[in-house]
Structure 1
Amino acid sequence: MITITLKSFLEDSSLRFVKNSWYGYDLCPATWNYIFSLNLLSAQLGWTWTITNIIWKDLWLILNTWLMQARTEQTPFRDVCVAAVFRLLGMPWEVQLSVIYATHDLPATLKQL
């Protein structure tokens, strides 16, 4: 069920960022539904299973692939999906933003070196 939900989440073209009066841009309600569903399913299987089968095998692959793609590309993983993955990993909002900004700027800095 987790694999099907994760695959559906990554392929859902309706996911987007929406303007939020408190946070600037936030995830749309459909994205939050995927996040809550994946959190609930993972909680049922426990932390050890989740880190071994979902985080290491799927989520880190998504983040690594996203980091390596050019900023103008949105394939194979869109920014909204990556933002949701950061939320799935449970980091505080400020840390998520810092990581996103750092990973976005890092490839450009490395190219200049």
Structure 2
Amino acid sequence: MWHDVFISPSAINQAMQLVARQRARGEVLNCLRAFLSWEKNAPLDVGFMVSKLLLTIQLCPNTEFQSSEKFGEDLSDNTWEYISAIDLLCCHQRWVWTHDNIISKELWPVMDKWIKYRKGHANIAYTPDIIVASVLRLIGRLGQLGLKEGFPSAVKNISAVIGMFIQHAQDEDIPWGIQLAAVYALCDLSPSNPEEIAKILEAWRQETPRSVPAAVLGSLEEVRALCAPERS
């Protein structure tokens, strides 16, 4: 099984090899080096690989939302693989690096450009909705790293921005796939501010004229459950 995993050309395999190459020691390192022929290839920089994966997501041809009865307008399997690979690499680099180099410098600028384009700013290139949805889902995933490492204030700041985005979703006519991605992301970040996030999500659920997918309803229920200990 491990042979198949390590010889796969997938993004996950590349990320696993990079992390293993940096973490392995002693005999384990020697075995992996021989088995995977690492001597023949110079080690990649983590930051370079993350940027490469983000660029792959943005340039992937014919990427569209995948319709799912359970999840709604979801990302493609390939995009999820890239997101998982980025998540793995960022976990290896830890939160401060992830926040400063990926969320702040790579992900927020994509959101900013998309918003400015919708508002009619000149000289701003169009960003496909699926890319914005991918960025939101990735922010949600990476924000969980901040929660695990004990940076709730930083994650709360991120959740506040996404919460504001969701609160204006109906007025701004935000595409449904992006709304769902923002809601999923806010659910991922909900431990940073469960009471406020629960209110935002419930207001969104009541205001939206669309049928809310089952997976979203389940996530909203989990957020409400986080509030129960605070009230007791």
Give the shorter-chain TM-score range: 0.7 to 0.9
- Return the offset for 1:47: 0.4
- Matched with 1:24 is 72
Say if 2:122 is the partner of 1:56: no
- Matched with 2:137 is 87
Check conservation: 1:15, 1:30, Cα contact below 8 A: no
Normalised by the length of structure 2, the TM-score is 0.39
Could you say what secondary structure the match of 1:15 adopts?
A: coil
RMSD (CA atoms): 2.8
Check conservation: 1:16, 1:27, Cα contact below 8 A: yes
Aligned length: 102
Partners of 1:80 and 1:19 in 2: how far apart?
12
User: Which one of the candidate residues 69, 76, 84 is aligned to 1:36?
Assistant: 84
- Return the offset for 1:25: 1.4
Unaligned runs of 5+ in 2: 1-48, 120-124, 142-158, 175-232
- Return the offset for 1:17: 0.3
Q: In structure 1, give the amino acid aligned to 2:82.
A: Y
Runs of 4+ in structure 1 off by over 2 angstroms are 95-108
Check 1:33–1:104 CA distance in 2 against 1; reply closer, same or farther (3 A cut). farther
Normalised by the length of structure 1, the TM-score is 0.75
Q: Which has the higher contact order (CA 8 A, sep 6+)?
A: 1
Check 1:69–1:30 CA distance in 2 against 1; reply closer, same or farther (3 A cut). same
CA displacement, residues 13-33 of structure 1 (integer Å, 9 cap, x when unaligned): 232101101122111111111
Check 1:35–1:104 CA distance in 2 against 1; reply closer, same or farther (3 A cut). farther
Which is higher, the Rg of structure 1 or of structure 2?
Answer: 2
- Matched with 2:165 is 99
Q: In structure 1, give the amino acid aligned to 2:61.
A: S
Unaligned runs of 5+ in 1: 109-113
